[in-house]
Chain A
Amino acid sequence: MTALVDAASWVLLVFGALTCVTGGVGLHRMPDFYSRTHAGGLTDTLGATAILFGLVLQAGLTLVSVKLLMLAFLLHLTSPTATHALVKAAYSRGLKANEVEAGDGVSH
């Protein structure tokens, strides 16, 4: 049973770490600011959730697990609020978004 939980914990932690790094790579590969915010969202949602749940499996049924879950919940409240405040500020200051027509399929 312990081995099973450990294995699941391993999977979640490695998956979360890989997702975070993918988001970090996306932060550099995306062509413009608005597209980069999506990469940031990737690390804040799936990456952070996977790592926190990996930690929950290690903590077991304790107060620590409840704190970890509250941390994940808090992150899901603050992350979109901060992102929205950021893009709204950028948009109202007139930062233009790169757009492609439907079916074009090429960036820039």
Chain B
Amino acid sequence: MTRTILLSVWLALTWLLWSGRTEPLLLASGALSVAVAIFLAWRMNVIDAESEPYELGARPLVYLPWLLWEIAKANLHVARVILTPSLPVQPRLVRIRATQKTDLGRVILANSITLTPGTVTLDVRDGTLLVHALTRKSAEGLESGEMDRWVTWLEGSGEDR
């Protein structure tokens, strides 16, 4: 129930933000849209800890800047590789362990890896990620396990799920 209310508030805010108007007709159609969206989400059974992970609390606000910084560094690395005339790529597949307890944590880790240029997650199975890395530097950055530790911290204790 908490998640349904949270999702409604979130949807209503999104509506207000993108319309930016307060005429009664538009507000009413917004309320109707939110109700329909909630009904569909309830029917599809997707209002759960994966779509509304409020247990994460404020930790994403600490994780996101770190992730964005990592993305910026990886971007410059890949751009340099592309612009070097000899094209020094050393593509390889690496397997790394994901120490997260929940599916949500593993999805966040896999998406963070894919979002960072130079590494793409190919497959997730039994707590192991198969990752394609563009260069040795990208692979080494991954194998240090720093991102894995960050996401495990982000996930928290996971006891309430």
Give me the interface of A with B, judged by CB distance under 8 Å: 19, 22-23, 25-26, 29-32, 34-35, 37-39, 41-42, 45-46, 63, 66-67, 70, 76-77, 79-81, 83-84, 87-88, 91-92, 97-100, 102-107
Contact = CB atoms under 8 A, between A and B. Distances in A.
Contacts of B122: 34, 87-88, 91
A34 B132 contact: yes
Interface string B37-74: 00000000000000000000000000000000001100
A18 B119 CA distance: 21
Interface of B: 17-18, 20, 71-72, 75-76, 78-79, 82-83, 87-93, 110-112, 114-123, 130, 132, 134, 136
Contacts of A80: 111-112, 114-115
A91 B123 contact: yes
B75 A45 contact: yes
A55 to B, nearest CB: 17
Contact of B121 (A77, A84, A102, A103): A84
Contacts, number: 112
Contact of A31 (B72, B89, B121, B136): B89
Contact of A45 (B92, B115, B119, B134): B115
Contacts of A88: 122-123
B75 A42 contact: yes
In the A-B complex, the 8 residue pairs with the smallest Cβ-Cβ separation, listed nearest first, are A80-B114, A46-B75, A26-B82, A41-B117, A80-B115, A80-B111, A34-B132, A91-B122
B82 A83 contact: no
A38 B87 contact: no
B120 A34 contact: yes
Contacts of A39: 78, 82
A63 B20 contact: yes
Given A41-B120, A80-B115, A87-B122, A102 B17 contact: no
Contacts of A23: 79, 82
Contacts of A87: 120-122, 132
A38 B90 contact: no
B91 A37 contact: no
